[in-house]
Amino acid sequence: MRTHKQTTLKGPATLSGIGVHSGNPAEITIRPAPANHGIAFLRTGTTHGNDRLIKAHHALVSATELCTVLGDVETGAVATVEHLMSALYGLGVDNALIEIDGPEMPILDGSALPFVQAIDQIGIATCDTPRRWLKILRHVRIEAGTSFAELRPIDRGFRLDVEIDFESPVIGRSRKAMDLSPATYRREIAGARTFGMMRDVERYWKAGFALGASLENTVAVGETAVVNPEGLRFQDEFVRHKILDAVGDLALAGLPIQGAYRSYCGGHRMNVGVLSALFADRANYAIVEAQGSRRETVLSELGVGLGIAAFAGDL
């Protein structure tokens, strides 16, 4: 696949399951889309009967508690988008339309692996249009207590450095850094599952979360061990899943990132928050076309911006 060209899918792929938080069934179909379309969700089955097109853009995030939600809950939203967004970004898919018939994405096995397998089965197609990148020009950082998330410039690629620190002795403190590519994503990140503490289950239920969680889609963490009989897929599966989530949330920038991301005890709110901080000042970033093209320098010098007007589509 030529990385200097935009990509889409060679055909549609349909997956179904239940939402990890709502417990309700949902079916999605991931469809090809033309160049410069980006990623968008077509929400059907709304209470008012009107379909709603929701662009995958950080400015349209309406909630970040335990998952990332796009759109207005009253008129049509899509929750738990981060795993599919992560798979699309991780594999280098620039353009796709996701049709979904309910308010929450299916959790499947709790990782991005089923999405990756579906995409690999249908294949990725190359468009004739040059790929554009979001180049980080200045260090941007947000903090909340001891937690932080930051983006900083690097010469090439997209690097993630994520650290977690839980009081649970089963999870503890862990850190992983990696340069993102389709190969490393498939091998090191895609299969890492979502996780939760057994002691928090009742509290989540009362708040309307985790109603569809089970040992088939969540790593359940007890006081002294993982409850799932098969154990962990990776020794450091917890921090790998946090990277998976970060990739999915940062995909809401609307373009692939050239830069480095670092977080400590972050999460969906911090991931989306650092994008808001980045786009708050036009001097923080530049839009460039694929490296080596004549257009790359022109876009940087002209300061072509990335805003909601360019990526919101028909909202």
| Catalytic annotation, residues | 268
Q: Which amino acid is at 218?
A: T
Cβ atoms of 289 and 73 closer than 8 Å: no
Joined together, the tokens standing for residue 130 give 């040059």
- Gap between the Cα atoms of 138 and 130, Å rounded: 24
- Helices 268-279, 237-250: axis angle to 10 degrees equals 30
Parallel/antiparallel/unpaired status of strands 132-136 and 257-264: parallel
H helix or E strand, kind and range, residue 269? helix 268-279
E-only strand ranges, the chain: 5-9, 13-18, 25-32, 39-43, 52-55, 61-63, 69-72, 76-79, 96-100, 124-130, 132-136, 140-144, 147-152, 158-165, 173-179, 195-197, 219-221, 257-264, 285-289
